[in-house]
Structure 1
Amino acid sequence: MNASYTIEPVQTAVSRQTDSALAASDLAAQLSDPALGFVLFFCSAEYNLVSLARSLEQSLVGIKVIGCTTAGEITAQGYEQHSITALGFNRHCFAVDAALIESLDQFGLVQAQALTESLIARCLEHRVAPIKGHSFAITLLDGLSSQEEMVLLALNSALGSIPHFGGSAGDDIHLANTHVYFDGEFHTKAAVVILINTLLDFEVFTTHHMLPLQQKFIVTQADPATRTVFELNAEPAAEEYARLVGVPVAELDHQIFALNPLAVRIGQEFYVRSIQRVNLDLSLTFYCAVENGIVLTAMEPGDMLPNLEAEFQRIEAQIGAPLITLGCDCFLRKLEAQCRGTLTETSDFLVRYRVVGFNTYGEQFDGMHINQTFTGVVIGRSQRYV
């Protein structure tokens, strides 16, 4: 490629049209680059998904399109709800391929290795960049499948040195049906793996602002298959948790969960295990894996914006100002910002660092399924394309 050839590697788009056909046409009109090779979108679950799937296929003919439903969208204008936001990738700057995993409970290392080898081979056909050091993977998973840990463990082993992140699809906090989009259809109980290969600089990252407290809980009765904890410290789980946070069980809700998370310690790091809901039998269902005998540490939020600022300044020092940031932001973080009156300030920060993405039901980072984090990739603007 001629070094003086100026192109725009990534375009952003957002539609607030509530009609699926109009929303798809709106996105296609904004993603007007004739060299468009791949579109990644995040949409509200309030859309008619059958109609939206059909309309996207009709509006973006010949373009590989991948996406998922959300618990909220992050657009180039900041936090939004009931919209559809998208990124368009120039095929001269990015080689992209993707695969669908339909039987999550049957997905193991053998399947992960075959999938990874196929993605790598197809990306290499585009001759954009070597794979090693120039590729990262994204996973979008059904956020209510309860299969993230097993899938991610297999994928992480197969991907080897290729960094990997992602998010669990949402459904506007209805906790009923979450979807991933692949090959013209929305799928449940499925995942999409995307391999992106580029000469542009990038850094995959994760960060959170939670601080440990002294209180500890031992999970004394749990069902790992459903991520349900029946007892904490040999007491009904909801009652023991409510005692910690100082509210009646009847007042436990997403806001309480966001401001009073629990975490598991691995080495020197704490990984949040967010509570999804209280059940009628006073058990607690979590968004992440929980097992009998694990110790959960009570956490409290620190300052979210200073934490984000420090992380982005660190990355900017490495690769320069962001061309785009693809972000997976736990919906409980957005709820926390709303509760603390910092939602507008947080949204403005995301605009400043060119974040586009979605609010998730869980995040993924190099094989780990985590909660209440901001996880993603910052892509820098290489001189090759400027």
Structure 2
Amino acid sequence: MVTVFVSPFYDPEIFIAELSRRMPDTPIFGCTTAGELSPGGWDEDSVVAMGFDAADFVIAARPLLELSTFRVDRGRAICTELQQEFAERTEQCAASDESFGLLFIDGMCQREETIMSAIYTSLEDIPIVGGSAGDGLRFEKSWVFHGGKALTDAAVLILIRTRLPFRLFKCDHFEPTSTKMVVTEADIEHRIVKELNAEPAALEYSRAVGISDAKLELFSFAAHPVLVRVGGAYYARSIQRTNPDGSLQFFCAIDEGMVLTVARKNDPIHATSRLLKEMTDDLGEISIFIGFECLLRRLDVEQHQLSREMSELYRRNKVIGFQTYGEQYRSMHINQTLTGVAIGKRVNVSQ
């Protein structure tokens, strides 16, 4: 297969139709982006493509359509069909081969948690990683690619079995503080928080993180994420914008009664470098890191004038992928994180 991550600078429908015409015998999957992770590091207005050799990878894929009306039981049925096809295709694989999944999902659908729930309960021991498709900084429309078409309100799930060693990874650079806020009123369906601690959400958020509510913008939210504790670990929940009524639009699911913890930032270069080294020490020589990085993570790094260092770190370590409106990692949909899969090289055993 080939995966492609395409800047919204290009027309996605024309692009995927033409690419599929030129490669009629190769399945092509992917999505539009909020920035690209290319062999040269961070990039914009570009296309990044990766080929997966049939000698090392066996795949099966399905589109998930009409996400706006998606139900978990329908998702489970699709995943069951996909697993059956995958099992048939991988019958001849060695017992030592292992599997993982990639998920590309419309970043404007606001249904990532429902999709992840359906997948997680259906695929048992196959771990999933992926990203929500982007639209630059416009937040208007994002696309995923399947069957030679650009689709909205859709996702693409790809199951992959390989003889190569691999590890899934997740990296952020935050730690919790003692400052907490409770969601006291929310529009759960649309990920809108109206009140925090029984106060107008934007006003209370500004007070908690120590900035003026008159200065709330995407860069402010990138610099001051909040965390949610799940199963003993903390995950970022990023804010997209302030609404005219003083409510806050989130990138991830929220709920009334949810406790949001103000985050303290650590050095993003150090945290990312340490993770990449840990993966390399674990797997040996790395063929590629396939990465899904939150747009807000990039904006935060840019604000601190660390873009060159982060881009060079990615270039040096062969981190390839795209910048997202949200990241998937196992059963979670998260923000302001780098997730992905590190794939090692084939070990040749002498006879």
- Place the TM-score, normalised by the shorter chain, in its bin: over 0.9
C-alpha separation in 2, matches of 1:128 and 1:284 = 51
Matching of residue 68 in structure 1 with residue 31 in structure 2: yes
How big is the shift at 1:183?
0.7
Q: Which residue of 1 aligns with 2:70?
A: 106
- Are 1:124 and 1:130, in contact at CA under 8 Å, matched by a contact in 2? no
Q: Which residue of 2 aligns with 1:185?
A: 149
Summarize the Cα distance change of 1:216–1:131 in structure 2 as closer, same or farther, 3 Å threshold: farther
Matching of residue 331 in structure 1 with residue 295 in structure 2: yes
- Are 2:75 and 2:115, in contact at CA under 8 Å, matched by a contact in 1? no
Summarize the Cα distance change of 1:338–1:52 in structure 2 as closer, same or farther, 3 Å threshold: same
How big is the shift at 1:106?
2.6
Q: Which residue of 2 aligns with 1:172?
A: 136
The farther-off stretch of 238-247 and 250-259 is: 238-247
Match of 2:241 among 266, 274, 277: 277
How big is the shift at 1:303?
1.0
- Structure 1: any 5+ residue segments left out of the alignment? 1-37
How big is the shift at 1:132?
7.7
Q: Which residue of 2 aligns with 1:93?
A: 56
How big is the shift at 1:107?
3.4
C-alpha separation in 2, matches of 1:120 and 1:305 = 42
Give the SS at the match of 2:190: coil
Match of 1:54 among 17, 31, 35: 17
The correspondence of residues 173-322 of structure 1 with structure 2, limited to 5 A, is: 173-322=137-286
The farther-off stretch of 194-203 and 133-142 is: 133-142
C-alpha separation in 1, matches of 2:39 and 2:88 = 31
Whichever residue aligns with residue 254 of structure 1, its letter is L
How big is the shift at 1:45?
1.1
C-alpha separation in 2, matches of 1:292 and 1:86 = 41
Whichever residue aligns with residue 134 of structure 1, its letter is E
- Are 1:78 and 1:350, in contact at CA under 8 Å, matched by a contact in 2? yes
C-alpha separation in 2, matches of 1:370 and 1:166 = 11
Whichever residue aligns with residue 78 of structure 1, its letter is G
Whichever residue aligns with residue 22 of structure 2, its letter is S
TM-score (norm: length of structure 1): 0.86
- Are 2:86 and 2:159, in contact at CA under 8 Å, matched by a contact in 1? no
- Extract structure 1 runs of 4+ deviating beyond 4 A: 130-133
Whichever residue aligns with residue 335 of structure 1, its letter is L
Summarize the Cα distance change of 1:120–1:306 in structure 2 as closer, same or farther, 3 Å threshold: farther
TM-score (norm: length of structure 2): 0.95
- Are 2:97 and 2:162, in contact at CA under 8 Å, matched by a contact in 1? no
Whichever residue aligns with residue 188 of structure 2, its letter is P
C-alpha separation in 1, matches of 2:349 and 2:11 = 38
Post-superposition CA distance 1:347-382 (Å, at most 9, x none):
111112111100011001111111111100000001
Q: CA RMSD in A?
A: 1.8
C-alpha separation in 2, matches of 1:190 and 1:200 = 30
Whichever residue aligns with residue 60 of structure 1, its letter is M
- Are 2:193 and 2:254, in contact at CA under 8 Å, matched by a contact in 1? yes
Whichever residue aligns with residue 300 of structure 1, its letter is R
The total of aligned residue pairs comes to 349
Whichever residue aligns with residue 229 of structure 2, its letter is R
- Are 2:133 and 2:142, in contact at CA under 8 Å, matched by a contact in 1? yes
Whichever residue aligns with residue 77 of structure 1, its letter is G
Give the SS at the match of 1:56: helix
- Are 2:12 and 2:143, in contact at CA under 8 Å, matched by a contact in 1? no
